[in-house]
Structure formats: structure tokens, C-alpha cells
Amino acid sequence: MDVTQAISGRRSVREYTEEPVDASVIGNLIDAAIHAPSAVNAQPWAFTVVRDQKALRRVSDGAKAHMLATMGGNPHADHFRSHLRDLNFHIFYHAPALVLISGAAQGPWIVEDCALAGENLMLAAYAAGLGSCWIGFAQAYLNTADGKADLGLPAEWDPVAPIIIGHPKSAVTPVPRKSPEIRWVG
Ligand SMILES: Cc1cc2nc3c(=O)[nH]c(=O)nc-3n(C[C@H](O)[C@H](O)[C@H](O)COP(=O)(O)O)c2cc1C
């Protein structure tokens, strides 16, 4: 698939079939992720692949409780609260797999590096016929001691990009883009 087709065709997918994603396919996605650029070529990322549905449920429950307890200042708090209180709301949408990209080294550009790896991974997933979605709801909780313990993450890792992967149940309607504000200097 041409890269521009992947960029414009990728969508956040929130409904998946139960079909598992092969370990070898996930390995290919991680290979695409590590081809991202990184500041001073530090390649500070580390990957955690979670296919254990009990672990995903544990993180979903923990993340919902953590967000409800801490999101006071979030401008979207009212909108989120009803979802987070809904016992049936699973933040990972019952996806068969989560790939969590964490910073495993210290440095000023860890978040940028891991986010670029995440975009590569999502584009590669789309090109492979898979769906993906970055789950920001998981981020704050996964950075707590309890969240790290849920997935057995080393204490010194900084989780950045929790990305679910799976076979989409159906095609997703594109989300419209705003016109970009562009200032030309020269
Ligand atoms: C940093 C980040 C956090 C996100 N967090 C969530 C999330 O917690 N739950 C969710 O359903 N989608 C989440 N998304 C997906 C966005 O809602 C989605 O990218 C946006 O609506 C545009 O749709 P598209 O990805 O199909 O182009 C997140 C995306 C990013 C980049």
C-alpha cells in the first residue's frame, strides 16, 4: 500500500471481531514502529504486547477509577464521566491485543520518539488490514505503580502509547478534518 493511502485511510477502530492477531503480525508492526526517527537516534522505546483479556480488563477497570478520581481539571471531564462510570464501558473495546510503547530510557524527547513509533505502528496495522486505536484513557493509570504492576512493567519505564490492534468488525466512517491554519513566512 502506498504511504499516502495508508495515511489517509487509517481510522481509529473501536469495534473488533474476536479473531486473534498472530504474534508474527504483531512482530511486523513492531518492526515498522522501530523504523521511526528518534532524537539522537536513542531508540528509547520498549514494547509490551498484552493479549491476556483478564489483564486488559484489570487495566480498563483501574484506568476508569483512576481517571474518575483525578480528572477534575480536564476540560472534557463532563463528557468522559458518564462513560467512565458505565460498568459496560471497556476502554480497550475488547480488542484482542494491546501494544504499549513505553520510554525505557531517560531523555527530553522520549514522548515524541514513542509517539512517532506509535504512528508507524498504526499505519502498518492499517496496511496489514488491521484496525488500531490509541487509548489515551489508559495513559495516566499505566504511569502509576498499580498500573505498571497490572502489566508487570519495570518501574523505570514511562508508558506513552497504548495502542489496541485487531480485526475491524466493519469499515469506519472518516472523521472530518478542520482546515489547517497555515502561515507562510517567505
Ligand atoms: C493521544 C491520543 C489519545 C486518544 N485516546 C483515545 C481514547 O482513549 N479512546 C478512544 O476511543 N480514542 C482515542 N483516541 C483516538 C482519537 O479519538 C481519534 O484519533 C480521532 O477521533 C480522529 O479519528 P481517526 O483516528 O479515525 O482519524 C486517541 C488518539 C490520540 C492521538
Q: Quickly list DSSP for 116-164.
A: HHHHHHHHHHHHTT-EEEE-GGGHHHHTSHHHHHHHT--TT-EEEEEEE
Ligand 1 centroid–CA 185 distance in Å is: 31
Q: 166 near 51, Cβ under 8 Å?
A: no
**Helix, strand or coil, per DSSP, at residue 37:** coil
Ligand 1 centroid–CA 134 distance in Å is: 6
Q: For the chain, 186 residues long, give each residue's pLDDT as a single digit of tens.
A: 999 999 999 999 999 999 999 999 999 999 999 999 999 999 999 999 999 999 999 999 999 999 999 988 777 888 889 889 999 999 999 999 999 999 999 999 999 999 999 999 999 999 999 999 999 999 999 999 999 999 999 999 999 999 999 999 999 999 999 999 999 999
Whole-angstrom distance, CA of residue 61 vs CA of residue 57: 6
Q: How many CB atoms lie within 10 A of CB 167?
A: 16
The CATH class of 3-166 is alpha beta
Cell numbers describing residue 4: 499516502
- pLDDT number for residue 78: 81
- pLDDT number for residue 77: 80
Ligand 1 centroid–CA 150 distance in Å is: 23
Query: Which residue among 8, 15, 92, 135 has the greatest number of ligand 1 atoms within 8 angstroms of its CB, and so is best to mutate?
Result: 135
Whole-angstrom distance, CA of residue 23 vs CA of residue 77: 37
